[in-house]
Amino acid sequence: MDFEAFDAQLLTLADALQGADEATVTAEIERMKALAQQLEDERSRRLALIRAEKLPELVNGPQPGTSPQYLRASALVAQVISGKGAPAERIEQAERAKAEIAALSRQAPPRESLTILRMNSALVRLIDRLRSGA
């Protein structure tokens, strides 16, 4: 088995485990880690072990942030996306929100920092749409 086959099996398993109890997911993590140990390539083996540990997140999705920075960034994105007004005004509002979200990501706990920064991608897409007139 190679890493790609392992990862495909892991993703299929994550879909199959939707709604499973914690004990079942834990048992499957251990089974997948044992399978990962069988990969010959050391780099692939390490990556597979990391992926196996992330099985709960693959099953349940990432946990939402709880920090004040995360909550503020979420509110900013929602406000800008649902905003009204002329395209130029909305672009300006989105640009200001992007800058604030970038600052919030730098202030946030490390586990939430990248997630907060990724919120800017929705604003970038909005800006592109507004600029193209779509």
Across 59-81, average pLDDT = 90
Higher pLDDT, 111 or 97: 97
Task: Say which residues have a Cβ less than 8 Å from residue 126's Cβ, sequence separation at least 6.
Answer: 80, 81, 90, 94
Give the pLDDT band (50/70/90) at residue 1: confident
Nearest to 74 by CA among 12, 30, 118, 21: 118
For the chain, what is the mean pLDDT?
93
| Residue pLDDT, tens place only, 32-67 | 999 999 999 999 999 999 999 999 988 887 677 899
Q: Give the per-residue pLDDT at 16.
A: 93
Q: Is the pLDDT of residue 91 over 90?
A: yes
Q: Give the per-residue pLDDT at 134.
A: 63
**Calpha distance 116→103 (Å, rounded):** 10
